[in-house]
Amino acid sequence: MKKIIFTLFIASFSFANAQVILGDAVGTATNKTSVLLDFAANQNKGIIVPYVRTLPTGTALVGGAIILDATTATAARMKFYNETAWVDLSGQNADVTTALAKQPTGITEDASARAIIGTVPDPIPVSFPEGALVLNSTTKAMVLPTVADVQNIPSPSPGMMVYVAGVSPTFYKRLAVFNGSKWSFWKP
């Protein structure tokens, strides 16, 4: 009997759906079943993408990767990989020398280390995407932190991304990226 109960208990996890919510002390989940990663509303905070001093290359690089390209610290730009090439999201350079000076430099990165939210293949294939945080789902997506206005963010950091849902007709319903100097806005 114990084996049957244990087997049913373990099997129930294979049918469970989960959603990760960051920044909400209460743990209030939205009713969006297509959301893999969500952020608490009205926090005036963003998500900060990794900065890199060498652009990633290779077969594990997949479309959708977003970084702060700091290969030249005085000309940093937000970029995303479109499965063919790195595309500039900033449209302007930023000097992130001061921000980079605060970051450690002599640390060796474990290229195989990653946090995966979503479907985790077992075993993880060699061709699986590399990244600090890998969102892996064919049916779910991440919902960016939402702000009414980027001016409400007290101290944006280089590499910050938010979704602007405010009422300003100029920057309403846009992706906003901060390269360390200026915000750039992208509309659908």
Segment 71-121, tens digit of pLDDT = 999 999 999 999 899 999 999 999 999 988 887 777 776 766 777 788 777
Q: Is the CB of residue 144 less than 8 Å from the CB of residue 163? A: yes
Give the global pTM: 0.73
Q: Where are the domains of the chain?
A: 20-186
**What distance in Å separates the CA atoms of residue 147 and residue 178, rounded to the nearest whole number?**
14
Q: Is the pLDDT of residue 23 over 60?
A: no
**What distance in Å separates the CA atoms of residue 41 and residue 29, rounded to the nearest whole number?**
11
- Report residue 65 as tokens: 């990767």
Neighbours of 36 (CB within 10 A): 19
**What distance in Å separates the CA atoms of residue 161 and residue 179, rounded to the nearest whole number?**
9
**What distance in Å separates the CA atoms of residue 40 and residue 37, rounded to the nearest whole number?**
10
Q: Is the CB of residue 42 less than 8 Å from the CB of residue 162? A: no
Over pLDDT 90: what percentage of the chain?
A: 24
pLDDT at 110: 72
Pick from 47, 110, 100: nearest CA to 70:
100
The sign of the dihedral angle between the CA atoms of 106, 58, 117, 166 is positive
Neighbours of 97 (CB within 10 A): 13
- Report residue 15 as tokens: 């049918």
Local confidence band at 181 (pLDDT 50, 70, 90 cut-offs): very high
β-bridge mates for residue 161, sequence order: 47, 177
- Report residue 2 as tokens: 């114990």
Taking CA atoms, 180 is separated from 8, 49, 76, 154, in Å, by 51, 12, 8, 13
